Amino acid sequence: MGYRSDVGIMVNEKHLKEFSKVIEPLIRSKTEIFKTETGLIKGIYFESIKWYGFSDHEIGVVEEFLLKLPNKDYGFIVVGEDNSDIRIEGCPYDYGINLIRKIEIDCQ
């Protein structure tokens, strides 16, 4: 199966055309997509994806695109399987991407 991560990305509206192009090859059936009224992708959420950064060509293209943007123009969070594997880049909270960790105990 391989190591899997949850990934959330949102970009500023001035980068939507290019973002839509670079993210399109990664879209799968279980991908949550956030679009503008004109159909451009402004954000995406992948659950349980093999996100290996630059070692995967399609993911490398997305990461390279994000690295070129000013921090204020995007939000990006990757949460891996390991408890300490959390990557936060850009300004995710400004774009409504939130990381929530919680413990829930149900003693019945």
105 located within any domain: no
Residue 17, CA distances (Å) to 31, 35, 40, 93 in order: 19, 11, 7, 22
Residue 42: the pLDDT is: 93
Per-residue pLDDT, 29: 65
- For residue 106, tell me if it sits in a domain: no
Residue 108 placed within a domain: no
CATH of residue 30: 3.30.70
Nearest to residue 45, comparing CAs of 20, 71, 63, 27? 27
Q: State the residue range of the domain holding 46.
A: 5-95
Residue 42 lies in a domain: yes
Q: Would you state the pLDDT for residue 5?
A: 92
Provide the domain count of the chain. 1
Predicted confidence pLDDT, tens digits, the chain (108 residues): 678 999 999 999 999 999 999 999 988 767 899 999 888 989 999 999 999 877 789 999 999 999 999 999 999 999 998 889 999 999 999 999 999 887 889 887
Q: Which of 4, 7, 1, 44 is nearest to 22 (CA)?
A: 44
- Examine residue 103 and state whether it is found in any structural domain, yes or no: no
The CA distances from residue 16 to 20, 82, 105, in Å, are: 6, 32, 41
Task: Say whether 17 sits in a helix, a strand or coil.
Answer: helix
**pLDDT at residue number 62:** 95
Which pLDDT value is given to residue 77? 96
- In a domain? residue 18: yes
